[in-house]
Structure formats: C-alpha cells, structure tokens
Chain A
Amino acid sequence: MPEVLLAAGASELRFRDPAKARALSAALGRVTAEIGRAPVSVMHVCGSHEQSIAKFGLRAVLPRDLNVIMGPGCPVCVTDVPEVDEAIVLAQDGVRIATYGDMLKVPGTVGSLADAQAAGAKVDVVYSAAQAVELARDTTEAVVFFASGFETTAVATAAVVLADPPANFSVLSAHKYIPPVMEIVAEMPGTKVEGFLAAGHAATITGSAIFERFVERHKIPVVVAGFEPLDILSGLVKLVELVRDKTPRVENMFPRCVTPEGNRNAQAHLWRVFRTVGGNWRGIAHVPNGNLRLRDEFAGVDARKKYRIDVRRLWTRAPSALTQTCICGTIMAGIASPHDCPLFGKACLPDAPVGACMVSSEGTCKIWYQYGGHPNL
C-alpha cells in the first residue's frame, strides 16, 4: 500500500498541473477554432472520463464549440433490467448475493436488490471478485457473485473463476464488452460523433490496436486517454487535431499504461473464461457481441446453469409509470443531457433513482447531480 500512496502523490503533481492544464485548454480552443465550424462533437465511452471531467471542473474550460458527449461508458447503467431481475430472484430464493455497491440500487422490473435486501434477502457489498470468493469460503451458504463491469473488471472475475473457487461459489455475469457498442453508436442514424476518446484502463487489457479495424471501417479517429486532468485534455487535443486534419487513426495518449497489444496474459484469462454473446444494453440497443458470458466448460461456476432462474414471477407487478419517462438511453447514446430529463434532480435522485444513470458513480446523471452539471460559473 505505501507504494500505491506514493504513486498517487507523484501522479498528482505530474498530471494535475494547473499551468499545463491552462496551456492544453488554450491549445484545444485553437485547434477547435481551426476546424471552422461548430459544434465539433466527440464522445468518450467511459464513466471514469466523465467523473474526471466533472470532478476537476474541466467543462468550465472546454471550448464552447467543442461538444464532449458522454457515451455508454457506465457498466452499471447498461446492465439490463432482466439481468437485475435474475439477481433479485436468486436473492429472494435465499441465495447470498455478493455484488458491487453500485449494483444495489439499480432498478429491476419491480424494485432493486436494495429493496430485496430490505425485505430480508441476503445481499453483501464487495469491492472485488476475490472478496466475493472469500465470503463463500467463510460460509456454507450458496454465494452468487453478481458481476458487472467492462473487460477490465471481467478480467478480475475470470481470475477467480480460474483459481478453483469453492463449490458454493458461482458467478452471475452482467459483464459487458465495449468495442461492439462503439460500432452501434457510430452507425446510429443521426449520430454526431466525429471522434472517440477510448478508456485508458480498458485499453490496458485489450491494447490500443483493437480499435484499428473500427477506425478503418468508420473513418472516425480513436484516441486512448488516461484519467488525470492532463491525460484527458491532451487526449482531447489529439482527437480534435485528427478531426481537423481529417486523418482518422488510432492514437495512444496513455502510453505509460497502454501498449498496442495490451496485456496478453489478462486477455488469455478473459477469453478462456468468457465468450461474447449479443444482448440488450439498457436504454441503448441490442448489442451484437456486447455481453460477456461464461463458457460452457465453466458451467459449474455459472449461476445461470447452476440455478433455475425464473424472472417471470417478478412481472406480476407493473413497473412504475416514472420509468416510462426516464431518458437514460438517449443520454447514454449522447443525444440528450440530464437537464433535458423532466425527472432529473426531482423525481429521480441518487437515493431514489428511476434510471440506472442516477445510480452509479459512473453514471452521467449521478455525476451531474454530484458535481452540479455545468452551470455558468
């Protein structure tokens, strides 16, 4: 731990330097102006990018003509209703559910895991897949790890699946895979996206080269960026330069962590345990190859194979009328912003979320609520 702390201190000095940030936002303004039309729209596909942009108040220094759209970058938010329902049914049937804190409040068809917990179901918040396994080792009860997250987090799940977990442990995978959804967004009718800022941590695993084919197909540049303020600003400068020069290609602006080929060992773990299948992303669309599910050889650790999960019994009560009004989907597709939603900050609050975007600290609505959106300051 001490090394981690030192590293955090060091990165802060290097990647949060206000003078360098001012120089970068000035450069961003210049490059955007050189394009000579407005607005220029780019999209990030990672809640952590939005977190950083909001937390450090970067929107206040972005050029007015640059539209940085928040994409479907929150794994908790795109967890589909039936996936939440599966976890709720298991919990109601007496299985102990271990999951990340954010997943507790994600609304299912009727209610959330938190509601199930309030009604007596056993739900434990864990901070890692390994902690869920520890929980299983400490009990004779059946423990299901309701696993969410993109390829980064899925690697950690794969690691525990491969490490011979106890027989009472299994995984309910809601893991998602980011590259396919970028295709969906790029092909959406009326899309305004001229460039993508790709998530540095996911690319640490997948490598930056994974985006080459995407760029070739869609002629849209992709820049891999880290999460410190200077990472994001320099990533945006590079991305807007590529838009200006009409030279779509992949650029890695996070080379201190990301290589073109990525972490081969982690990829091997990931694909040994998981395969991609098509499925719905909440509010977005059906995403071909967008879901990560356990391979058949791991059926013994797969909660979907181990238990009969009948979610239909939850459907005897209708979902609340409010959910019909929720525009999370259009927000995640980058078409609307939280202020366009009549529920935002009124009927939909972090403690009483209507849509999943208000639940997770990676969710656009929650981030806007927590950091005040971007009023004119």
Chain B
Amino acid sequence: MTATTTARGEALITLRHGAGGRAMRQLIGETLAAGYLQSPVEGIGLAAMDDGAALRVGDRWLVVTTDSHVVHPIFFPGGDIGRLAVAGTVNDLAMMGATAPLGLTCAVVIEEGFRRSDLERLQRSMQETCREAGVTILTGDTKVMGRGELDGIVINTTGVALTDAVVPDAGLRPGDRLLVTGSIGDHGMALMVKRHGLAIEAELRSDVAPINGMIAAALAARPGAVTAMKDPTRGGVASALHEMAEKSGVGIVIHEPDVPVSQTVRAAAEMLGLDPFQIANEGKALLGVRPDAADAVLAALRGHPLGASAAIVGECIPDHVGRVILDTGLGRRLLVEVEGEPLPRIC
C-alpha cells in the first residue's frame, strides 16, 4: 500500500512484509535469519523456519518459541491481546509436538497514557488463559515508551517445553490425510468487522484459545501417526497449507465442502469479497495424518470440546509439488496465498 522504496531507491519495509505470506518469508530469509541458517543446531533451528526451535536435551527435546503480539483493537469479540499472547505461544509449542509447556516469559511494552484498568483487565485475561492451558508465567519484563512511540501495547511471550517426539511442519507424505481442528476464519473476520466498523450484527467471535490439550489428545490417539502440524494464523489456511506443501515436497488437494466454516463467517466473507481460507485463525490447527490413523485422530479431536467440528478435509499427492488444489465440489482451482491485508471489494 505504501511506497516500497525511498526517492533515492532505498528499499523500505511495508505492511506486506508482516502479513505472513511469501514476502515475509523472503524478507526473513534474506535479512533477519541470514547468518544463523547454518548454525550447528542438533534438531530444528532457524533454517527450518518452523513454529519454533527444538534442541536435543538428553533423550528428549527442548522446544522454544517466541512471539510478539500486536493487535488492533486490543479488546475484540471473543478475546483480547492478553489471551492472544498466551494462546499464540502455547499453540506454537503444541504445533511442534510439545503440548505440556514448562512455562512462559512475558515482556510488555506499554505506551504512556495506557489505562491501568485496561492493563489489569489484560492481566486477568492472561491468567485465565494460562489456567486453561495449564501453564504459568515464569519471568517477565516491562517497559513504558512515550506517547505516540507505539500504539497502545505490545506483548511478547516466549514458551519452553520438553517433548519426547518433535512434529515438524515439513513431514507430509503423499497419501497423508489433512485434518482441520474446527471452523476457519473466525478470528480474522471478527477483527475485520470490528476494526472497519462494519455494521454486521451477527455474532462474530474470535476463536482465540490454547489448543495444547486437544493436540495432546490427537497425538496420543496413535503415536507417530501425525506427520506434520501448523496453526493457520496470519495468511490463514491458504498460507499454512502452502508452507506445509512446499517444505514437505508434496501437493495438497482440499475438498472445500468438507471444510468447516461457520454460516456467519461464510456470509460476512461473501458480502465483503473475502476468502475464509485467507483469513487468520488463533485456535485452530492443520494436521497431516497417516491415512490408516486419520479416523482415530479425528475421533480424538472431536472428543475434545474445542475440536467438536474437526474434519478430514484433504490429502497429499505426489505431483503438483508445492501447490494446493481446491476441489470446490463444482470444479477445481488453485488455492493461492494472499499478499498483504485483504481489502473488501466494491460491489
């Protein structure tokens, strides 16, 4: 949206670089991650660009992940930035197979003039979310910056956990089934409606929640059967599936009629010209599962309150590597990644 270079041709960072798509992965690879990609890590390091890192510690794995949370507005239907900060990091750990976090750190940067009552409200929300996830905050850091130097509040959380087996996001094999743990698009759509002041009165609520308990149940259903996991946050299911397909070297076929989308999200997306596949989620996961175990893992997901509408939505194929094909029930097309913030259409 904004200029990408200065008048003198110097490259600038744009919002596109933060939207979770290809542009962001490219920027990270070329700048922030450069120099660490070959670091001698036994396990999963920066080069994998996974949800977190995994280091071998004795016969177990130590999983570490970090995430800075910025969201506008900070209170939204179904959650707030505090709940997001806890759930986001707990979920990133869970996506690596580490569903029992040892603890979180929490660093908060606050803008001068931020209401104390809002901070207290966020603290209560974080505490409540920690309780749901079975995790605690071990240490933290607090800074206050001058008015206008940031927008309200930024919360960073880091999570650590031990696990016996790491699940990467690159482990898909042809034949694997793809499962989604529930309806898609709820978080991003709730935020978009609130942010743009769209007069949609229907109940649109973010799905933000810690899903480590549900993932633990899915992993226990058939040990070793879950071949890959990813949480479809920024960029939505479309981005997450692409990343999984590219890294795993497979193609993916998704059967659209099987993908759970709430009636409200579907209607709002149609009205605004948006695609639920490209909208963020904060309490969902995509799982690649060996075909013979798909039903067992699905049953385990559905047995959990957060996974009641989980579904088998597709499978991996050996050709069309790196591509995601959407079977609409009426025809077929490619599912593509978005670049930048989705903007509602005109007519």
Chain A residues near B16: list those with CB within 8 A.
Answer: 351
Does residue B247 face the partner (Cβ distance < 8 Å to A)? no
Chain B contacts with A in 271-289, Cβ cutoff 8 A: 271, 273, 275
Task: Please tell me if the beta carbons of B346 and A371 are within 8 angstroms of each other in the complex.
Answer: no
In the complex, how many angstroms separate the beta carbon of B311 from the nearest chain A beta carbon?
17
Task: Please tell me if the beta carbons of A101 and B347 are within 8 angstroms of each other in the complex.
Answer: no
Partner of B273, one of A119, A361, A371: A361
Quick check: which of B39-47, B175-183, B219-227, B332-340 contacts chain A, the rest being far away? B332-340
Does residue A271 face the partner (Cβ distance < 8 Å to B)? no
Number of B residues near A (Cβ < 8 Å) is 43
Partner of B345, one of A5, A117, A361: A361
Task: Please tell me if the beta carbons of A58 and B267 are within 8 angstroms of each other in the complex.
Answer: no
Chain A residues near B325: list those with CB within 8 A.
Answer: 377
Task: Please tell me if the beta carbons of A5 and B202 are within 8 angstroms of each other in the complex.
Answer: yes
Partner of B340, one of A5, A102, A350, A362: A350
CA distance A172 to B243 in the complex (A): 43
Partner of A61, one of B200, B331, B339: B331
In the complex, how many angstroms separate the beta carbon of A130 from the nearest chain B beta carbon?
10
Does residue A341 face the partner (Cβ distance < 8 Å to B)? no
**Nearest B residue (CB) for A5:** B267
Chain A residues near B336: list those with CB within 8 A.
Answer: 369-372
What per-residue 1/0 map shows which CB atoms of B302-320 lie under 8 Å from chain A? 0000000000000000001
CA distance A373 to B325 in the complex (A): 12
Chain A residues near B273: list those with CB within 8 A.
Answer: 51, 361
Quick check: which of B1-9, B54-62, B70-78, B150-158 contacts chain A, the rest being far away? B1-9
**Nearest B residue (CB) for A369:** B336
Could you count the A-B residue pairs with CB atoms below 8 Å apart for me: how many are there? Answer: 132
Chain A contacts with B in 169-216, Cβ cutoff 8 A: 201
Chain B residues near A12: list those with CB within 8 A.
Answer: 266
Task: Please tell me if the beta carbons of B263 and A149 are within 8 angstroms of each other in the complex.
Answer: no
Does residue A125 face the partner (Cβ distance < 8 Å to B)? yes
CA distance A362 to B345 in the complex (A): 8
Does residue B201 face the partner (Cβ distance < 8 Å to A)? yes
Task: Please tell me if the beta carbons of A9 and B263 are within 8 angstroms of each other in the complex.
Answer: yes
Partner of A101, one of B4, B200, B331, B344: B344
Partner of B330, one of A21, A119, A369: A21
Task: Please tell me if the beta carbons of B332 and A60 are within 8 angstroms of each other in the complex.
Answer: yes
Task: Please tell me if the beta carbons of A377 and B2 are within 8 angstroms of each other in the complex.
Answer: no
Does residue B105 face the partner (Cβ distance < 8 Å to A)? no
Chain A contacts with B in 1-15, Cβ cutoff 8 A: 1-2, 4-5, 8-9, 12
Chain A residues near B11: list those with CB within 8 A.
Answer: none
Task: Please tell me if the beta carbons of A54 and B333 are within 8 angstroms of each other in the complex.
Answer: yes
**Nearest A residue (CB) for B337:** A370
In the complex, how many angstroms separate the beta carbon of B243 from the nearest chain A beta carbon?
17
Chain A residues near B199: list those with CB within 8 A.
Answer: 1
Partner of A56, one of B4, B23, B331: B331
Binding site for A on B (CB under 8 A): 1-4, 14, 16, 23, 196, 198-202, 257, 263-264, 266-267, 270-271, 273, 275, 320, 325-336, 338-340, 343-347
Binding site for B on A (CB under 8 A): 1-2, 4-5, 8-9, 12, 16, 18, 21, 48, 51, 54-61, 75-76, 100-105, 114-115, 117-119, 125, 127, 148-150, 152-153, 201, 229, 349-352, 360-362, 369-375, 377
Q: A54-B333, A101-B345, A371-B336 are in contact. List 10 more A-B contacts (CB 8 A).
A: A9-B267, A21-B330, A57-B332, A61-B331, A101-B346, A103-B346, A229-B330, A372-B334, A377-B332, A377-B334
